[in-house]
Structure 1
Amino acid sequence: MATFGAYGSWFPNDPRGARSKFVASRQLYLKGGRAKNCESLPYSRLDVEQRQQLGSLTHSLQRSSVFFGDEQIERIGHAICRFVSVECRVVWALAILPWHVHLVFGRGQVSSEDFIAHLKDFVHDSLERGDQLPQGCDQDHSVWAVGQWIDFLDSEIAIDNAIHYTNANLADAGLKLQHWECVTPFGGIQPNVIKYWD
Structure 2
Amino acid sequence: MQKPLVIAYHLVWTAYGWWLPNDPRGSESKIVRNPPLAKIGNLHYGRKMHQPARREVRAFYDRAKPLLRHALLKFTPDEVATAASGLAHAITKHNYTCYACAIMPDHVHLVIRKHKHTAEEMIENLQTLSRERLVAEGFRDPGHPIWTVGGWKGFLDRPSAVRRVVAYVEKNPSEIGRPLQCWPLVTEYNNWPLHPGHSPNSPYARRLRGAR
TM-score range, shorter chain: 0.7 to 0.9
Aligned to 2:193: 190
Aligned to 2:199: none
Aligned to 2:136: 129
Determine the C-alpha separation between the residues in 1 that align with 2:86 and 2:154: 22
Identity %: 25
Q: Give the structure with higher Rg (CA).
A: 2
User: What is the 5 A alignment of 1:27-176?
Assistant: 27=34, 31-34=41-44, 37-38=51-52, 41=54, 46=55, 53-133=60-140, 137-138=141-142, 140-176=143-179
What are the Cα deviations for residues 73-109 of structure 1, in whole angstroms up to 9, with x where unaligned?
Answer: 1111121112101111111000011111100001212
Structure 1: 4+ residue segments shifted above 6 A: none
What is the TM-score when the length of structure 2 is the normalising length? 0.74
How many residues are treated as equivalent by the alignment? 182
What are the Cα deviations for residues 117-172 of structure 1, in whole angstroms up to 9, with x where unaligned?
Answer: 12111111111111221xxx42x331111220111111112111211111121111
Q: Please tell me whether residue 12 in structure 1 is matched to residue 15 in structure 2.
A: no
C-alpha spacing 1:51/1:142, structure 2 compared with 1 (3 Å): closer
The Cα of 1:69 is off from its aligned counterpart by 0.9
Determine the C-alpha separation between the residues in 1 that align with 2:98 and 2:124: 16
What is the TM-score when the length of structure 1 is the normalising length? 0.79
2:106 aligned partner, one-letter code:
W
Contact 1:23/1:29, CA 8 A, preserved across alignment: no
